[in-house]
Amino acid sequence: MTGKNPQPGKPAPAAGQPQKKAPLPMGTWIALGVIAIAVVVAIFMSQPRKAPAADPGWAAKQEQALAERKAAGWEEIERGLLWRRVKGDGSGRHPLPSDTVTIHYEGKLVDGTVFDSTQGGKPASFPLGGLIEAWQLALPKAGIGDTIEIAVPPALGYGDRGGGPIPGGAVLLFKIELLSIE
């Protein structure tokens, strides 16, 4: 040691003794905790959500939801995607995949569970080309001011993997009001 005291007001350690390191500041511990939580959440959200295997009739209920709508006259766009117009006449401007759409929507599972909605809140704006394939196929059928309903087979939604509150293999039911196009 050269005689300099690295911590004023405390005696310098004797020559040859290791110096104590200062504890990490509280802000560092908080930041490390936030990072750890973010990593755990990211791992959890990236895990596939399997179809509810405990209910052997679950997959049949998914198929039944599509069959009932098809029997009720919903139009098939392609690959099992069903749609119908519930408000409007289709005369407004229709979006292209390169457009950004502003919409009100509600998404449900076939058991009626709402997994996402803008109803009662601010509308949402999305680039149409960045949405699930079913929306990219169905929204161009709607004109500004129209409200449509779509029944989405798993392959055109979140597939067998699912995501967030949506289990893998789920048929999705959406009601979408097209407000504007940019």
Model pLDDT for residues 32-48, shown as the tens digit of each residue:
655 656 555 555 455 54
Q: Is 126 a catalytic residue?
A: no
Q: Is 44 a catalytic residue?
A: no
Residue 80 in any domain: the answer is: yes
Give the side-chain half-sphere CA count within 13 A for 64.
8
Residue 37 in any domain: the answer is: no
Residue 5 in any domain: the answer is: no
Residue 154 contacts by C-beta under 8 Å, 6 or more apart in sequence?
62, 160, 168, 169, 170, 171
> Does the pLDDT at position 155 exceed 60?
yes
Domain encompassing residue 88: 58-181
Residue 175 in any domain: the answer is: yes
Q: Is 115 a catalytic residue?
A: yes
The per-residue pLDDT for range 114-137, each reduced to its tens digit, is 999 999 999 999 999 999 999 999
Check residues 176 and 17 and name the one with the higher pLDDT: 176
Residue among 77, 115, 126, 160 flagged as catalytic: 115
Q: Is 30 a catalytic residue?
A: no
Instruction: Estimate the share of the chain in helix, then strand, then coil, as percent rounded to the nearest 5.
Output: 25, 25, 50
Give alpha helix (H) positions in the chain: 26-46, 58-71, 133-138
Kindly report the CATH number assigned to the domain that includes residue 112: 3.10.50.40
The per-residue pLDDT for range 47-69, each reduced to its tens digit, is 544 555 446 788 899 999 999 99
CA 61 vs CA 9, 49, 76, 181: distances in Å = 75, 17, 19, 35
Residue among 126, 132, 144, 160 flagged as catalytic: 132
Residue carrying structure tokens 């005369």: 91
- Does the pTM exceed 0.75? no
Residue 8 in any domain: the answer is: no
Residue 110 in any domain: the answer is: yes
Residue 170 in any domain: the answer is: yes
Residue among 103, 150, 174, 181 flagged as catalytic: 174
Residue among 105, 148, 150, 176 flagged as catalytic: 105
Q: Is 174 a catalytic residue?
A: yes
Residue 76 in any domain: the answer is: yes
Confidence of residue 29 (pLDDT cuts 50, 70, 90): low
In the chain, the number of structural domains is: 1
Q: Is 181 a catalytic residue?
A: no
